Amino acid sequence: METGLVDSLLREERVFRPQPQVVREANMGQAELKAAQTLARQDYRLFWEERAAEMDWFAKWDQVLDDSNPPFYKWFSGGKCNLVHNALDRHILTVNKNKLAVIWEGESGECRKYTYYELYREVCRLANALRGLGVQKGDRILIYLPPLPETVITMLAAAKIGAVQTLVFAGYSARSLRERIESCRPKIIVTADGFYRNGRVINLKSVVDEALFGEDADCAESVIVVHRAGVETDMVEPRDLRYEDLIRQESPQAPTEVMDAEDPLFLLYTSGATGKPKGLLHTHGGYMVGVHATYRWVMDVKPTDLYLCTADPGWITGHSYVVFGPLMAGTTVVLYEGHPLYPQADRLWAIVARYGVTILYTTPTLIRMLMRYGSQYPRKHDLSTLRLLGSVGEPIGPEPWVWFHKYIGRSECPLLDTWWQTETGMFMVSPLPISLLKPGSAGRPLPGVEVDVVDRHGNPAGHDKGGFVVIRKPWPAMARTLWNDDQGYRQAYWEKIPGVYFAGDVARKDEDGYFWFQGRADDVLNIGGHRIGPAEVEAALTAHKSVVEAAVIGVPDSIKGEAAKCFVVRAEGWNKDYDSEDELIMALKAHVKRELGPFVSIRAIAFREQLPHTKSGKILRRLLKAEETGAAPGDLSSLEEE
Ligand code: WT7
């Protein structure tokens, strides 16, 4: 066994067979799956080409996959398309025209509904307004919004006019926002006055003001402010514009930009092992094909479904499987603004019952939280409309799996644990509704993708041996590069193990080829399904005057899967500013939240005289982690040493 790779402590023996009706009605049935697997094995280009043919294109591609310059792969080169044509324009010519596209519920209880036609008209209005502000193909639009209908509208409007959108989760701080603004130089920022979260009004516009303070004028020419919570905001003339004023006079018709398949659609920043967030770039053609196909197979949507995904649009799950995938499939999406436990632990179940949700896609952290409140909360509501459940973001573990399946899914609904990443754009490893399910396993790779578990030389790890997760062949929804950093893209994903994509996860594969994901192989933390870079937290800590040096590691947490623990070397004289260690700890925790965003919570801070380092001066987080959790040190850090 490789040092540091856990074979597994876990041997889950339970299996759950799919209900006959589910098997009969699945979008991807046994016969289709066999055919798909056979074709994908013989000719995966042809396999993806057939998926592409299921979409609308303005002009057909010349080449399915251009692999002449690895790792910079191109899909459907020469093809002309626009994701928004598939997500919106084409629906208004069908029976979907008057079907609900979005049902939005605010935390304080209000509800707004949009048919596909209404959504189309709103998107056109905003598209025209954005064009009127001079936005052109390739310009960046930064969206700093909570889950609101306007968030969906802005995402679609930006894509419609060929702009590159980047969503920044509304829980990020001014500093994190500024860092992203400086990286992508948006022409326009769209935000809201405020929003409701956990019973409080969060002032969002002031964060944008702080982030833009002192910025030169060649970026963020306009800040568009959606009215949501009635927060008093300083409107800076002529930069700031009210969303409602801007669209009022605009025509509800607007042409959709014809894009090359490889033109950028969005940029999404995520944390890596280093201090700077990485801006992953996704493009129109391949992304739309990959997301559309996988959404239909895994979530098995039918025209009558009502779909709820608890992810925020600001994460990749929100992009692919709250907004783009469901709308391309003509699904009705429920979008909820607020905290899932507000005002009490049955809010989610009340929403499911109120609208008759049929498909529920959520995270292990939320499941564990709901589980802690017990089954009396779900029992108060009629959840009988549910027919399919999904999980994403972190390893779910058998017990939360079984609880969710039993108490929410009546032991009947398929519960599908989907493994994928910001980088993959689409589901990669996941069971299908027709699959035999093993609680805690994400099942097998989907047809057309080749995911494997290998040792550090790239040799297949044996059955049940822990190893690194790699992807052997390009896939259509893969990120194309890092924004302005081709070299960083190559290094982070394609050079750790030659010839394959390195995902940064560890897993084992059992004798049936089922994947059991164990966590990250690198130092990246996964707190409640959110990726947090240790170096970013460390940088925030060392920006505090009482801190000389800091190291951050993940330690197990019974709800969030992982929690952050910080080791801090204090500056001389810290005790002149703080009366006690506890006071300093409180100040440091608050400081990190202010620097990075309120969703970054620190569980513990320990003080040390010094921290362990490598010869080249890097902090040995692995060693601290080993001391803390008893896990074996080594693996990736030794990989990097070589
Ligand atoms: C990382 C990607 C993909 C949407 C949410 C997170 C972890 C994701 C699973 C799963 C075990 C999972 C991995 C992965 N992860 N899904 N089903 N089982 N781990 O997107 O922020 O890009 O993070 O989340 O560690 O690498 P992300």
From the list 431, 430, 432, 386, the residue with the least C-alpha distance to 412 is 386
> pTM, whole model, 2 decimals?
0.95
CA 555 to centroid of ligand 1, rounded, Å? 17
365 lines ligand 1 (CB under 6 A): no
* Tens-place pLDDT, residues 228-277: 999 999 999 999 999 999 999 999 999 999 999 999 999 999 998 777 89
User: Residue 291 in contact with residue 328, Cβ under 8 Å?
Assistant: yes
Mean pLDDT of the chain: 95
Give residue 629's pLDDT. 84
* Tens-place pLDDT, residues 606-640: 999 999 998 888 889 989 999 998 876 655 444 44
Give residue 9's pLDDT. 53
Q: How far apart are CA 220 and CA 208, in angstroms?
A: 10
User: Residue 390 in contact with residue 416, Cβ under 8 Å?
Assistant: yes
CA 14 to centroid of ligand 1, rounded, Å? 24
State the pLDDT confidence band at 5, using cuts at 50, 70 and 90: low
CATH for 523-629 is: 3.30.300.30
From the list 496, 480, 79, 84, the residue with the least C-alpha distance to 268 is 480
503 lines ligand 1 (CB under 6 A): yes
Q: What's the whole-number mean pLDDT along residues 159-186? A: 97
Q: How distant, in Å, are the alpha carbons of 14, 82, 218, 312 from that of 187?
A: 53, 21, 8, 24
* Tens-place pLDDT, residues 190-230: 999 999 999 999 999 999 999 999 877 678 999 999 999 99
Give residue 218's pLDDT. 75
| Residue 344 φ then ψ, to 5° | -145, -175
Q: What percent of the chain has pLDDT over 70?
A: 97
CA 308 to centroid of ligand 1, rounded, Å? 19
Q: Which helix (H) or strand (E) holds 356?
A: none
622-626 contact pairs (CB < 8 A, 24+): 622/4, 622/523, 624/551, 624/553, 624/567, 625/553, 625/554, 625/555
User: Residue 267 in contact with residue 277, Cβ under 8 Å?
Assistant: no
Q: How far apart are CA 402 and CA 405, in angstroms?
A: 5
| Residue 453 φ then ψ, to 5° | -120, 125
Q: Is 454 helix (H, G, I), strand (E, B) or coil?
A: strand
Domain boundary assignment for the chain = 523-629
User: Residue 498 in contact with residue 491, Cβ under 8 Å?
Assistant: no
For the beta carbon of residue 467, count every other beta carbon within 10 angstroms. Answer: 27
CA 432 to centroid of ligand 1, rounded, Å? 18
The protein residue whose alpha carbon is closest to atom 12 in ligand 1 is: 394
Q: How distant, in Å, are the alpha carbons of 288, 407, 494, 536 from that of 488?
A: 25, 45, 10, 17
Q: How far apart are CA 414 and CA 437, in angstroms?
A: 8
517 lines ligand 1 (CB under 6 A): yes
CA 312 to centroid of ligand 1, rounded, Å? 14
| Secondary structure, 3-state, 254-311 | CCCCCEECCCEEEEEEECCCCCCCEEEEEEHHHHHHHHHHHHHHHCCCCCCCEEEECC
| Residue 576 φ then ψ, to 5° | -75, -30
Q: What percent of the chain has pLDDT over 90?
A: 91
From the list 324, 331, 425, the residue with the least C-alpha distance to 82 is 324
Q: What's the whole-number mean pLDDT along residues 359-376? A: 96
Q: How far apart are CA 496 and CA 636, in angstroms?
A: 9
Q: How far apart are CA 460 and CA 271, in angstroms?
A: 28
Spell out the residues 6+ positions from residue 374 whose beta carbon is closer than 8 angstroms to its own: none
Token code pair at residue 429: 């490893």
For the beta carbon of residue 336, count every other beta carbon within 10 angstroms. Answer: 19
Q: In terms of residues, how long is the chain?
A: 642
- Chain-centroid distance, C-alpha 568: 30
- Hey, which of 9-23, 50-64, 624-638 has the most confident mean pLDDT? 50-64
363 lines ligand 1 (CB under 6 A): no
For the beta carbon of residue 455, count every other beta carbon within 10 angstroms. Answer: 17
CA 419 to centroid of ligand 1, rounded, Å? 6
User: Residue 181 in contact with residue 214, Cβ under 8 Å?
Assistant: no
505 lines ligand 1 (CB under 6 A): yes
Closest ligand 1 atom, residue 396 Cα:
18
Give residue 3's pLDDT. 37
* Tens-place pLDDT, residues 406-435: 999 999 999 999 999 999 999 999 999 999
Q: Which residues pair with 144 in a beta bridge?
A: 191
State the pLDDT confidence band at 96, using cuts at 50, 70 and 90: very high
CA 624 to centroid of ligand 1, rounded, Å? 24
Closest ligand 1 atom, residue 504 Cα:
26
Q: Which mutation among 363, 531, 536 tests ligand 1's pocket best, with the greatest number of atoms within 8 A of CB? A: 531
Secondary structure tally for the chain: helices H, strands E? 22, 30
Single-letter residue type at 197: R
122 lines ligand 1 (CB under 6 A): no
**Please, what is the Cα angle at 172 between 180 and 312, to 5 degrees?**
105
Q: In the 8-state DSSP scheme, what is residue 642?
A: -
Closest ligand 1 atom, residue 531 Cα:
21
The protein residue whose alpha carbon is closest to atom 16 in ligand 1 is: 393
Burial pattern 543-565, b for ≥16 Cβ within 10 A else e, equals ebebbbbbbbbbeebeebbbbbb
543 conformational bin, left if phi > 0, alpha if psi -120 to 50, beta if neither: alpha
* Tens-place pLDDT, residues 265-311: 999 999 987 778 999 999 999 999 999 999 999 999 999 999 999 99
420 lines ligand 1 (CB under 6 A): yes
Give residue 632's pLDDT. 67
Q: In the 8-state DSSP scheme, what is residue 404?
A: I
Q: How far apart are CA 354 and CA 366, in angstroms?
A: 20
Give residue 392's pLDDT. 98
Token pair 């949700």: residue:
357
User: Residue 241 in contact with residue 192, Cβ under 8 Å?
Assistant: no
- Asked if the model's pLDDT at residue 526 lies above 70, the reply is yes
- Asked if the model's pLDDT at residue 563 lies above 80, the reply is yes
Single-letter residue type at 393: G
State the pLDDT confidence band at 557, using cuts at 50, 70 and 90: very high
CA 294 to centroid of ligand 1, rounded, Å? 16
Q: Is 209 helix (H, G, I), strand (E, B) or coil?
A: helix
Q: What's the whole-number mean pLDDT along residues 170-175? A: 96
CA 390 to centroid of ligand 1, rounded, Å? 13
Q: How far apart are CA 243 and CA 473, in angstroms?
A: 43
From the list 314, 280, 282, 277, the residue with the least C-alpha distance to 179 is 277
Q: How far apart are CA 446 and CA 425, in angstroms?
A: 14
ipTM exceeds 0.85, yes or no: yes
Give residue 284's pLDDT. 98
Range list of β-strands (E), 63-150: 63-66, 74-77, 80-81, 100-105, 111-115, 140-144
395 lines ligand 1 (CB under 6 A): yes
The protein residue whose alpha carbon is closest to atom 17 in ligand 1 is: 419
CA 420 to centroid of ligand 1, rounded, Å? 5
CA 133 to centroid of ligand 1, rounded, Å? 37
**Please, what is the Cα angle at 65 between 59 and 71, to 5 degrees?**
130
CA 425 to centroid of ligand 1, rounded, Å? 11
CA 210 to centroid of ligand 1, rounded, Å? 31
State the pLDDT confidence band at 548, using cuts at 50, 70 and 90: very high
The protein residue whose alpha carbon is closest to atom 6 in ligand 1 is: 393
Maximum Cα–Cα distance across the chain = 73
Q: How far apart are CA 201 and CA 385, in angstroms?
A: 32
User: Residue 81 in contact with residue 56, Cβ under 8 Å?
Assistant: yes
Spell out the residues 6+ positions from residue 490 whose beta carbon is closer than 8 angstroms to its own: 71
Q: What's the whole-number mean pLDDT along residues 477-501? A: 97
First to last CA, the chain: 19
430 lines ligand 1 (CB under 6 A): no
What is the DSSP pairing of strand 481-482 with strand 501-509?
unpaired
The protein residue whose alpha carbon is closest to atom 3 in ligand 1 is: 421
